[in-house]
């Protein structure tokens, strides 16, 4: 698995991934071969009225999960910015960006990213 050369990229798409999180890891982005993804922002909102819920965000590469955020508690009715343009995350081919909640039906994520081919 080699990272594509950015100079040779000819197409750039802006995309947004929307997920309602569960206690099982959900894949928000999967990177295809010969493709590169720049994650611009990851925002997670807790929609529950009273319950604080933990979120874990990881990059899944070669059967290993590398955490960007590990079990960070989001108070009820609050939002967490996990990543922003100031600290963009690059995903290489065959990587996956996954999110997991400590409780079902409480967290929603919005992920903005660029796909380069």
Name the fold adopted by 17-116: Jelly Rolls (2.60.120)
Are the CB atoms for 113 and 36 separated by under 8 Å?
no
- Please give the chain's pLDDT, 117 residues, in tens: 466 666 666 888 999 999 999 999 999 999 998 899 999 999 999 999 999 999 999 999 999 999 999 999 999 999 999 999 888 899 999 999 999 999 999 999 999 999 998
Secondary structure of 55-101 in the HEC alphabet? EEEEEEECCEEEEEEEEEEECCCCEEEEECHHHCEEECCCCEEEEEE
Query: Taking the domains of the chain in order of start, what are their residue ranges?
Result: 17-116
pLDDT (0 to 100) of residue 45 = 98
pLDDT (0 to 100) of residue 31 = 96
pLDDT (0 to 100) of residue 4 = 62
Are the CB atoms for 56 and 92 separated by under 8 Å?
no
pLDDT (0 to 100) of residue 88 = 82
């Amino acid at each position: 698995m080699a990272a594509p050369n950015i100079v040779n990229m000819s197409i750039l798409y802006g995309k947004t991934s929307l997920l309602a999180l569960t206690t099982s890891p959900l894949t928000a982005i999967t990177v295809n071969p010969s493709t590169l993804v720049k994650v611009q922002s990851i925002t997670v909102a807790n929609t529950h009225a009273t319950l604080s819920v933990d979120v874990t965000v990881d990059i899944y590469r070669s059967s290993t999960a590398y955490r960007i955020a590990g079990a960070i508690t989001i108070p009820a009715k609050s939002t967490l910015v996990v990543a922003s343009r100031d600290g963009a995350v690059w995903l290489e081919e065959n990587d996956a960006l996954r999110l997991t909640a400590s409780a079902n039906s409480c967290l929603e994520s919005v992920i903005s990213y660029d796909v380069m081919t």
